[in-house]
Structure 1
Amino acid sequence: MPEYLTPGVYVEETSFRSRSVEGVPTSTFGMAGRTEYGPVPYSLPAPGDPTVLPGATLVTSFTEYERAFGGLRIGNDDCQLALAARAFFANGGRRLYVSRVFTFANTTGATPVIDTPKNFASLALPPTGSALLRWRARWPGSAGSKISVAVTFRRGKNIIVQGGGAGAQPRLTGVQPGAAVEVVPLTGGVVPGIPDDTAPQPGNVRVVIPRADGVLGYRKPDGTFDAVAAGTAAFHLTLAVTVRFGERVDVYNELELDEAHPRAVGRVLAAVDPADEFSLVWLQAVTPAAGQPAPAAGAVLAALLNGGAGAAAFLTGGGDGGTLVAADLRGRLANPDSLIDPARGLGALAEIDDIAIVAVPDTVTLPADQQKTAVDDLIEHCERLRYRMAIVDPPKDCSISEVRKFRAQFDTKYAALYYPWVRITNPGLRPDPGAPAPLLDVPPSGYVAGIYARSDIERGVHKAPANEVVLGINDFTTNVTYDRQSVLNPEGINALRFFEGRARRVWGARTMSSDPEWKYVNVRRLFIYLEHSIDKSTQWAVFEPNNERLWASVRQTVEDFLIATWRTGALTGTKPEEAFFVRCDRTTMTQNDLDNGRLICLIGVAPTYPAEFVVFRIGQFTADAQRS
């Protein structure tokens, strides 16, 4: 309450509007599984180093996915998650969070570390003798051995300027502390010309540092200041790093040698928070042995150039970890008592509030008993978090009876099963001339998730994501006919079917629930949308005075949101009173509730159900017949 202590005119702003409820996104997809490369939680080995803790990573196109997580294969195997991501974006998806799962090999302790050669590829510089630097793959995997790094230099113009009058001390201009320069003597008082392709002599390379008064000079081996000598010239040396990974080429220009410079190569290509979020490598300076001085700048530059300007070398080592099991996909939540023990697998997706659709395509690569466990973990994830829906893949090459047996193991309103698999032209293989295109069978979850997103964007979450065309496929692995679907549909198995002249479509919208109240996917997802939106947008009410004014404000807020939802066609009824009710008053709360700080708001909505069976009754009619 404002205080009025001094006489005067007081102008105050107020609001006469009720607070609004903003609808949450419903088309954001999340997946956990193996990828060729990309972000995964691990710790750096050296004491005091920060810890790399990426959670689930957002990508908004398949091109961005490839940059972050690599291609469609992991070693000799197809990457099911990459294929699902490709299908998701091809069918209208826009936002995908990926939680990469990697089973570290040969590690000790709860958190794997980077110095395990079986996990991370690396390249020592120089390649022979004592290493001064080391290029390291930023993420684990055998894909790291496909990365090559080349460092080139550029010799800039002379940066020595004679200051003041005759005999004045020369000074450096046009460079910042941390820049590397090549110092050469003048020839007859003239700056010598040096061919561009001539590598700098290590003994002539210096690093620029400032004196206490701001004058620039060079750093001596012991770290002290060395003034610019008369009769010398200096050329600014900058670096360019070219990193290649398959067809991907990343070039980092105008880099500096020393860590003191903001554009230092070790800063731009750092393990933690690099300039490029999806950089492939990072540069590690090897700590000298006890009692040994730090390497000279010229030796560091020579090691980076790797024997000559532009010489590229591949990283070596790295592996794809241990055998994937269901527990790896489940992962775990972050350890609240440790900053170096982050969430993994599905646990990392749990930290992203916007995710509304979840799938784990790698369940199909597990043995039958583990596949059931992995699907149970996926369902438990959605039921615990309440505001997301799971898309379940059936086992590969399963018959009608086998998919019915698989479906019979589950009962949940937070998941839907789609059958059969889809057949596509293998995007990872180039066909031989004149040979038929190679085909690949893929689980349907990525395609269905894209259709969920497309339907939400075009129509709304209340529209059943069915009778929608599946894009980017050649065929289904099994032909589901009318008679076959009459067996599958009542059991909650959504069929993917081909219709002559109407393409291949999703032809089912049922959950895996035995409760008829939650039989349809769109009804379950509509309630998820309503509950999540109201939950997020009414947090302001916590700790407000629990009286009639608050009850009326909450009631008005929810009613306004439901009216807007009803106008989209999500709720039945010709007027709002037939579509929903909101009660928040003495009829929903007792004095005991008020004494214990509880505000109870009762909301009822009438959702629209899909017209799953459209029936037209036709009979003969004559003038003498009576119509009933």
Structure 2
Amino acid sequence: MPMDYFAPGVYVEEVDRGSRPIEGVSMSVAGFVGFTEDVRGDAELFKPMMITNWSQFLEYFGKQGSDGYTDFNAYLPFAVNGWFMNGGGRCWVTSIGTKLPGSEPPAPEETATKLRSSGNRPSLMFAIKPSEGEEDGSSALALSGGRVNVSILPDEPKAPEDPEAEPPLNTGEYFKVIISRGGEKLEEYTHLTMNPDVEAQVGTYVVTAINEGIGDQQASQFLSVTDMSTSGQPLSRRPVNGTYEVSPPPVISSRERFPRDVNGARDDRTGVQGIFEIDEVSMIACPDLMLAYQRGLLDLDQVHGIMEMMVSMCENNAPSPNYRMVVLDPPPCKGGGEPVPPEQQKPQHVAQWLNNFNRRSMFGALYYPWIKVANPRNAGRPILVPPCGHMMGIWCRTDETRGVFKAPANEVPRGVLGLAYETNFREQELLNPVGINCIRNFANYNRGFQVWGARTLVEPANVQWRYISVRRLISYIERSIEIGTQWVVFEPNDQDLWARVTRTVSNFLERLWRAGALFGGSPGESFYVKCDASINTHETIMLGRLYVEIGVCPVRPAEFVIFRISQWSPNQ
């Protein structure tokens, strides 16, 4: 509305009449669920944590100074590393544990933090104190994934009560201990020494102060301390100044509880379901579902149940469009369900398994066989792992280099040393029609390993949604339009708004056509946008609704390239 004018002069008004451009959303953010070596820093057990590079993964999910892998060869670190190696960027990681369910809990000294003296000899050992009534050694800190920092700082002996008395000699053996978490000081103990026979008016033995308390100060609620020093003067046994992290004992799920931990809960943002609460995640994998199957933690029916849940959640994102896809891994088994090593799973086995699983969806993808990568925990020797992380990295790489409309195939998987099984052309003729994407070895053609399939798990007769690139392109368009047209809500529903919406969407689709995402020689052949009185009637306007009809013609991959050659004579 125009402003009021009361005095003569020149008035300038800023009027917003143009349409707002739609910016394409990212379809290249992954979500991973599986076992990790540790859960540190701001990361929490069972809850998703954003990771932007491998170093950050080590910061949150690897022990200090570690390579980030586990002693029981969990597949998630391999998948995340393969994701980054193949071009993946931002991802979210959910740790479902640092030990296999049912494992024996480690001895307290294994998870304790050991401090050393200036002479590099054992000094003190700090451990998280178990909560009362907890027999398994876990604690509230352990269940929350929290850590405690212990700071060793210089201090002095106690000052005498008589201000005129001569202060005791400061031999340098005295120190203070500050216990903190997340930058917040929890407890502080002063005038400490490694001398168990120290006089009370001068200082306090560190073990007595922290474990038992002294005077008005109670024992620590968080930590217990053990004196590991054996001989020497208090100064030589004193711990080196610095800040040290004390880890809680790992939370080890029971075998009975493990399926529930993997599933998680959307309201609590835990487990697989918690990943679906992260809006930006557009591709999801749970590589350690295969480890749980191999170790007997889940049977094949339970694996199918979790796979079904992931597929169904990708299909049900109402009221927003369905834009997520799940990348499944084939369980290493024969068609009848008998477990076998991955290298013994033949193409006919995985085809029969998929037929028995009997779940079809345009929002799922499956790759075969498992891939061979280097295992840092075994001196770099190869290990067979599920291919999901490497494949999703290729999806992201293709998005960046070509666009979401390009099929993520005919690409080299980086970091792959070999395949569990080398599928040939005839065997792929069995797998490709049912939606099993093969990773092939084309060494005979000097082309190395190649991803040689780009199909979804939709039923074979539904050719409209056969290709991963088509499904992801349509999801990209739907999601971008949904987010880019939020400004339309509560605008006056009239012809002016219809024209602005039409122009906004048309400009976005024309940019896609120019980038090669849509098929057609002109924008008019590639898409149409309809927003007029024929679909926005008086009744729909009275209901507060605005309808926009959009049709697009996506490009599809040339999966079969056929050259028809015949002899030709120019005289014929």
Band the TM-score falls in, shorter-chain normalisation? 0.7 to 0.9
Q: Is the 8 A contact 2:211 2:225 kept in 1?
A: no
Q: Is the 8 A contact 1:122 1:315 kept in 2?
A: yes
TM-score (structure 1 length as normaliser): 0.68
Q: Could you tell me how far apart the structure 1 residues matched to 2:179 and 2:456 are?
A: 59
What SS is found at the alignment partner of 1:449?
helix
What is residue 364 of structure 2 aligned with on the other side? 415
What is residue 374 of structure 1 aligned with on the other side? 306
Cα deviation for residue 412 of structure 1 reads 0.3
What is residue 393 of structure 1 aligned with on the other side? 329
Aligned residue runs from structure 1 range 357-506, under 5 A = 357-364=283-290, 365-366=292-293, 367-385=299-317, 386-396=322-332, 397=342, 398-408=345-355, 409-430=358-379, 438-500=381-443, 501-506=446-451
Q: Is the 8 A contact 2:150 2:179 kept in 1?
A: no
What per-residue deviation string (whole Å, max 9, x for no partner) do you get for residues 212-258 of structure 1?
xxxxxxxxxxxxxxxxxxxxxxxxx6x6xxxxxxxxxxxxxxxx679
Q: Could you tell me how far apart the structure 2 residues matched to 1:617 and 1:558 are?
A: 41
What per-residue deviation string (whole Å, max 9, x for no partner) do you get for residues 288-342 of structure 1?
99xx974079x99x987968632799867544222274443222211xxxxxxx2
Q: What's the C-alpha RMSD, in Å, of the aligned pairs?
A: 4.4
What is residue 18 of structure 2 aligned with on the other side? 17
Aligned residue runs from structure 1 range 1-16, under 5 A = 1-4=1-4, 6-9=6-9, 10-16=11-17
Question: Greater helix percent: which structure?
Answer: 2
83, 96, 100: which one pairs with 2:91? 96
What per-residue deviation string (whole Å, max 9, x for no partner) do you get for residues 321-376 of structure 1?
22274443222211xxxxxxx22112221221111111111221332111111110
Aligned residue runs from structure 1 range 85-234, under 5 A = 85-102=80-97, 139-140=142-143, 151-155=151-155, 183=159, 194-196=170-172, 198-200=173-175
Shift in CA distance, 127/575, structure 1 to aligned 2, threshold 3 Å = closer
Q: Could you tell me how far apart the structure 1 residues matched to 2:171 and 2:138 are?
A: 29
How many corresponding residue pairs? 488
2:84 matches 1:67: no
Q: Percent identity?
A: 31
Shift in CA distance, 184/16, structure 1 to aligned 2, threshold 3 Å = farther
Cα deviation for residue 265 of structure 1 reads 4.1
Cα deviation for residue 445 of structure 1 reads 0.2
What is residue 265 of structure 2 aligned with on the other side? 332
For structure 1, list consecutive stretches of 5 or more residues without a partner in the other structure: 43-51, 107-116, 157-180, 201-236, 240-255, 269-284, 335-341, 431-436
What SS is found at the alignment partner of 2:351?
helix
582, 586, 609: which one pairs with 2:556? 609
Cα deviation for residue 33 of structure 1 reads 2.4
Q: Could you tell me how far apart the structure 1 residues matched to 2:8 and 2:353 are?
A: 77
Q: Is the 8 A contact 1:359 1:392 kept in 2?
A: yes
Cα deviation for residue 439 of structure 1 reads 2.4
What per-residue deviation string (whole Å, max 9, x for no partner) do you get for residues 466-511 of structure 1?
0000111111101110111111111111000011211101000000
Q: Is the 8 A contact 2:38 2:98 kept in 1?
A: no
Q: Could you tell me how far apart the structure 2 residues matched to 1:566 and 1:81 are?
A: 38
Q: Which amino acid aligns with 2:266?
A: L
176, 198, 217: which one pairs with 1:295? 217
Cα deviation for residue 459 of structure 1 reads 0.8
What SS is found at the alignment partner of 1:439?
strand
Q: Is the 8 A contact 2:142 2:248 kept in 1?
A: no
Q: Could you tell me how far apart the structure 2 residues matched to 1:479 and 1:139 are?
A: 44
Q: Which amino acid aligns with 2:433?
A: P
Cα deviation for residue 589 of structure 1 reads 2.3
Q: Is the 8 A contact 1:497 1:504 kept in 2?
A: yes
Shift in CA distance, 305/257, structure 1 to aligned 2, threshold 3 Å = farther
Q: Which amino acid aligns with 1:19?
A: R
Q: Is the 8 A contact 2:367 2:436 kept in 1?
A: yes
- More deviation, 12-21/484-493: 12-21
For structure 2, list consecutive stretches of 5 or more residues without a partner in the other structure: 102-106, 115-123, 132-136, 189-208, 229-236, 294-298, 333-341
Q: Is the 8 A contact 1:38 1:139 kept in 2?
A: no
Q: Could you tell me how far apart the structure 1 residues matched to 2:126 and 2:52 are?
A: 39
Cα deviation for residue 12 of structure 1 reads 2.0
Q: Could you tell me how far apart the structure 2 residues matched to 1:352 and 1:453 are?
A: 18
Shift in CA distance, 566/316, structure 1 to aligned 2, threshold 3 Å = closer
Cα deviation for residue 150 of structure 1 reads 6.5
Q: Which amino acid aligns with 2:365?
A: A
Q: Could you tell me how far apart the structure 1 residues matched to 2:130 and 2:285 are?
A: 44
Q: Which amino acid aligns with 1:558?
A: V
Q: Is the 8 A contact 1:40 1:102 kept in 2?
A: no
435, 449, 458: which one pairs with 1:513? 458
What SS is found at the alignment partner of 1:487?
helix
Q: Is the 8 A contact 2:408 2:469 kept in 1?
A: yes
What per-residue deviation string (whole Å, max 9, x for no partner) do you get for residues 564-607 of structure 1?
11111000112111111000001222322122111110000110
Q: Is the 8 A contact 1:85 1:446 kept in 2?
A: yes
Q: Is the 8 A contact 2:367 2:387 kept in 1?
A: yes
Q: Which amino acid aligns with 2:308?
A: D
Q: Could you tell me how far apart the structure 2 residues matched to 1:451 and 1:258 are?
A: 42
What is residue 624 of structure 1 aligned with on the other side? 571
Q: Is the 8 A contact 1:40 1:100 kept in 2?
A: no
Q: Is the 8 A contact 2:371 2:387 kept in 1?
A: yes
TM-score (structure 2 length as normaliser): 0.74
- More deviation, 13-22/348-357: 13-22
Q: Could you tell me how far apart the structure 2 residues matched to 1:569 and 1:393 are?
A: 31
Q: Is the 8 A contact 2:438 2:452 kept in 1?
A: yes
Q: Is the 8 A contact 2:126 2:246 kept in 1?
A: no
2:244 matches 1:346: no
Q: Is the 8 A contact 2:50 2:93 kept in 1?
A: yes
Cα deviation for residue 77 of structure 1 reads 2.2
What per-residue deviation string (whole Å, max 9, x for no partner) do you get for residues 169-199 of structure 1?
xxxxxxxxxxxx9646999999987343x11
What is residue 196 of structure 2 aligned with on the other side? none
Q: Which amino acid aligns with 2:472?
A: R
Q: Could you tell me how far apart the structure 2 residues matched to 1:602 and 1:376 are?
A: 32
2:254 matches 1:322: yes
